[in-house]
Every structure is written in C-alpha cells, then in structure tokens.
C-alpha cells in the first residue's frame, strides 16, 4: 500500500468547488457539465444490472507530473434515481489487485433501494487492474501446476521456491519497468481524487472491503476535507503494512482451518470422517503429504491443495464443497472432487495473473520488506511451528517482495481527527484481516464507530446476509447515523449460523454472500 505526491487539475477542482451547492452535497448535473471533465458514460447493462453504465478516465501515470504520460482507468456507475441526491459513492473490493467494476452493480442492488437510489454508485478498476490500461501481467502462468511444495523441508525445495519468487520479480521489472514505480496505494488514492474531480463532486462517500479499507484511510489522510461518509469492512491493520500483517494472517488462517475441521466433525453424518476435529485435521495433513508425492489428477499437489482450501478461511459458504472433496479422498481415495474443487476455488486464470501482478506491485512498493532471506526464513519457520496450514504458502506468495526492483516506500500513518464519523465493520474471527485491525483503526480515526460481528469468521461481512449489520450500514449511508457505545465497541451483531452440508436445505441467506465473496476474491 502506498503514497506519492500528486498535483490534480486545479481548474477542475476549482470549478467543482465553485459549483457546489450545500455543504457535502454534489453539484447539479448542469454544474458538473460546466467542468467539461465528467466521464462520457455509456450503457453497459447486463441482465441483472440493467442500469449499469461504463466510462473511462485519463489520469497521470505520475501524479507529480500531471502533464506527462497518461494512463486510463475503467469506471462503472449505477446512477441515482431518487430526488434526494447524496453524491458519488466509490466502492472498492480490496486486493490489492481486485477488480471493482462489477462491485458497483452489486452494492447498488444489495443496499435497500431507498438508500442506493440516492447515490451514484461508482466502481473502478484501479491502475494496472482489469479493464484499466495498461493492465499488468508480469509472468503469465506463474501459478501453473504442479508447483514445488510450499514447505521448504529441504534446500532443494527452498531453492526452487526462491527461484520462482525471484524470477517473478525479474519478469515484472523487464515487462513493466516504467510503470512499477507508480503502482502503489497512494498513486491509487490520487486516482480516486481525480475521479472525484471529474465527477464534479466536492466530496465523495466511500465503501471499501479488506485492502480497500487501507485505501480508504489513506485517501482520508490525504484529503480529509473531501470525505463525506466512509464505510470500512474487514479492516487492515495499518501498523503492520505489510510484512507483519502477513505473519499475523498465518495464525488466524490456521485457526479458521481448524474451525472447518470442527465443522466437519460436527457434521459426521454427512461426511463420515468422525467426530474428533484433531483426528480429522491429522487426516487432512495426511492428504497433503500424499498429494505432495502424487498430485491428484496430475494437477493438485500440496501447494495447490492449500490454494484450494484457503478460500474456506475467507468464507464459510465454501465449506460444504471443500468438505465433500476432502471426504471423497479420505474415504475412497477419489481425487476427481479435489481436482474440481481446485478448479473452482484455487486455480489462477489470466484474470488471476493480472490480480497477482498488481498485488505484488502494490504490496512490494508500499512497504519496507526485508531484503535478507534469512529473516524471512526465521520468521516463517517460527510462525509455521504454531500455524502450519498456510504459513509457507503465504510466505512464497509474498516472497517476490524480497527481490522487488523498485524503491520501497513506507506505510502511511492514517491517524485522523479531521473526518466526519466513519463506520467500521469487523468480525471477531476474520482470518484475512484479524480483529486487531478493526480495533486499531477505531482508535486512530477519531469519532469512528465500530460494529462487531461476534463469533463471525468471514471476511467481508456487510451485504452478505446479516440483517443486523446491514441495518447499521443502511442507516449510516441513509442519513449519517452511527451507533455510539460506551466501551471499545459501539455495537454488536451475532454471527450467522454456519452453513449446512450440501444434502441439506441451504437457506437463501447464502446468495448475497457467495456473490460478494466471488468479487472480493482472496489474499486481500
């Protein structure tokens, strides 16, 4: 996550400010047109998003050189329909590297119509991502199967994994050398403000998930006077960007994996693996060891198995599918369900190659990662001793940062006392962004309100079926109301029940959750 000094088109900003109506509201359409900067929106409707519009916006590659090389951001919009207009609501799904165009339509449809209709809901593919150009793709096929075992149990395996990480960083340097110094969080924040200016809005509202919470807080730090409302869901700890945050994740993902094992034990009637979670977990590691020697279908080795089960740490709606694949192998040795689960949850396609290229470019540029591999080795073996499930897989995913070709920046101090109330949402058992992140940001953003999903383990919890959480979200976006408590938490909601096995009736509550988590993706 990053930051870079930037100069925006002063004429546009001044014109927007002069055209503004009441404080916090956006200018009229006529006033916006007067800026001659608004994107040219065109219909790009889909069957389930009939009012969706798309546009593009040119922004400087280097915001410190606004007259220099330009890049293009892809935008989407669901326009407001209500007489009361509350301005643009920018949305971001996280990552870094997450595609944001489809999120606008989802948010507009998942919010209560009375609330969504008052906003222009704006999605965007951040610089380097998806339909924005140039789109990064450092090394297509980097995740082709079968990769070396993630656990470096010997020097040969460690060398193979190190070579993969180093070669990816070198490929990025060779293919995208002139772009990489400008792929970072603060450059994306400058882009967001360019979007605001082009829309003719003196202020924006913002709704970000996961990495999008850090993106939002950095925007708020640079432009506090331009924040109208801000919602942050599943919150990054800004004090650990990014090396420490990844080590903290390892412990949380291990706990979440054990929660899956306990759920399988609870549903022994469906899966037949026994009622002892520890024995089921041991059986899972037996499966991992077997696949390390003989990959399922020639495709799913130990590392790919971890990739397949990682999404279960993000969203328990995937548990029934993962459990069925695991049980098929454990009871009969059948591997086809594992291969199918890998294809559905773990395999990386061209979109994933792009997402990973941006993920590494932002994370490696944003922070002072260790250059000495001995430090990585020591820290990750220490974490592995406590949390074997994903520690080394996560380490290799981020290892290109040890060899990254650009100068590294430092994290932004997001401490802020200049904002209107910000609404925070955090699940107590979130693995990707552990609970401490929400607690820390609550202390750093004065007047923020923290809503906690007690006992929840999913990542991305609003607009995912929990009506208690969504009621706080709707009230805030509707009229700015935030809950106020007397302790460290302002409001609590109970977590939704865990899912049922696939042969049982699954309630409709999973529909929004599955759609959302398909957009949020993993690792961010």
Active-site amino acid positions: 210, 430, 459
- Residue in 47, 179, 205 with CA at minimum distance from that of residue 126: 179
Crossing angle, helix 435-444 and helix 211-222, to 10 degrees? 10
What's the rounded Cα separation, in Å, for the pair 6 and 192?
Answer: 12
- Residue in 226, 281, 275, 237 with CA at minimum distance from that of residue 255: 281
What's the rounded Cα separation, in Å, for the pair 20 and 85?
Answer: 13
- Residue in 49, 52, 34, 99 with CA at minimum distance from that of residue 73: 99
**DSSP run (H or E) holding 325:** helix 319-332
Q: What are phi and psi of 241, to 5 degrees?
A: -70, 120
Sheet holding 42-43, edge to edge: 42-43, 53-60, 70-78, 120-125, 88-92, 204-209, 227-233, 423-427, 449-454, 491-494
What's the rounded Cα separation, in Å, for the pair 492 and 450?
Answer: 9
Q: ω into residue 146 within 30 of 0, thus cis? A: yes
Give the N- to C-terminal CA distance of the chain in Å, as an integer: 11
Q: What are phi and psi of 216, to 5 degrees?
A: -65, -40
DSSP letter at 52 equals: -
Beta bridge partners of 205: 89, 229
């Amino acid at each position: 996550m990053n930051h870079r000094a930037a100069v925006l088109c002063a004429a546009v900003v001044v014109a927007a400010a002069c055209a503004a109506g009441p404080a916090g509201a956006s200018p009229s359409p006529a006033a916006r047109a007067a800026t001659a900067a608004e994107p040219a929106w065109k219909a790009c409707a889909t069957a389930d998003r009939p009012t969706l519009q798309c546009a593009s916006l040119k922004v400087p590659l280097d915001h410190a050189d606004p007259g220099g090389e330009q890049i293009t951001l892809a935008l989407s919009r669901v326009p407001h329909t209500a007489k009361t207009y509350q301005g643009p609501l920018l949305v971001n799904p996280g990552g870094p590297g997450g595609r944001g165009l489809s999120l606008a339509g989802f948010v507009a449809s998942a919010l209560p119509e009375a609330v969504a209709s008052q906003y222009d809901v704006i999605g965007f593919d951040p610089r380097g991502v998806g339909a924005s150009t140039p789109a990064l793709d450092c090394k297509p096929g980097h995740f082709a199967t079968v990769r070396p075992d993630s656990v470096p149990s010997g020097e040969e395996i460690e060398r193979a994994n190190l070579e993969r990480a180093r070669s990816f960083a070198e490929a990025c340097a060779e293919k995208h050398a002139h772009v990489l110094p400008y792929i970072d969080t603060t450059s994306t924040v400058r882009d967001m403000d360019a979007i605001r200016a082009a829309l003719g809005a003196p202020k924006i509202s913002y709704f970000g998930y996961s990495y999008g919470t850090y993106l939002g807080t950095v925007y708020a730090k640079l432009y506090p006077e331009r924040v109208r409302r801000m919602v942050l869901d599943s919150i990054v700890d800004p004090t650990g960007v990014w090396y420490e945050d990844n080590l903290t994740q390892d412990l949380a993902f291990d706990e979440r994996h054990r929660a899956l094992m306990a759920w399988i034990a609870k549903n022994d009637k469906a899966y037949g693996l026994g009622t002892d979670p520890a024995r089921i977990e041991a059986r899972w590691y037996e499966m991992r060891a077997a696949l390390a020697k003989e990959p399922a279908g020639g495709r799913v080795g130990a590392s790919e198995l971890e990739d397949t089960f990682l999404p279960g740490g993000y969203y328990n709606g995937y548990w029934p599918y993962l459990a069925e694949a695991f049980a098929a192998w454990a009871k009969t040795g059948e591997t086809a369900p594992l291969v199918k689960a890998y294809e559905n949850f773990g395999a990386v396609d061209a979109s994933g190659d792009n997402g990973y290229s941006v993920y590494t470019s932002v994370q490696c540029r944003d922070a002072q990662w260790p250059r000495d591999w001995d430090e990585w080795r020591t820290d990750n073996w220490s974490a592995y001793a406590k949390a074997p499930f994903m520690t080394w897989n996560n380490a290799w995913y981020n290892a290109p940062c040890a060899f990254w070709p650009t100068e590294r920046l430092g994290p932004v101090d997001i401490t802020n006392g200049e904002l209107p109330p910000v609404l925070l949402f955090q699940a107590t058992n979130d693995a990707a962004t552990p609970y401490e992140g929400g607690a820390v940001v609550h202390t750093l953003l004065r007047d923020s309100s923290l809503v906690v999903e007690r006992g929840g383990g999913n990542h991305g919890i609003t607009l995912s079926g929990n009506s208690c959480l969504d009621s706080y979200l709707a009230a805030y976006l509707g009229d700015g109301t935030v809950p106020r408590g007397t302790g460290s938490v302002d409001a609590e909601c109970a977590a939704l029940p865990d899912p049922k096995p696939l042969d049982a009736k699954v309630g409709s509550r999973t529909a929004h959750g599955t759609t959302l988590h398909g957009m949020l993706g993993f690792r961010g």
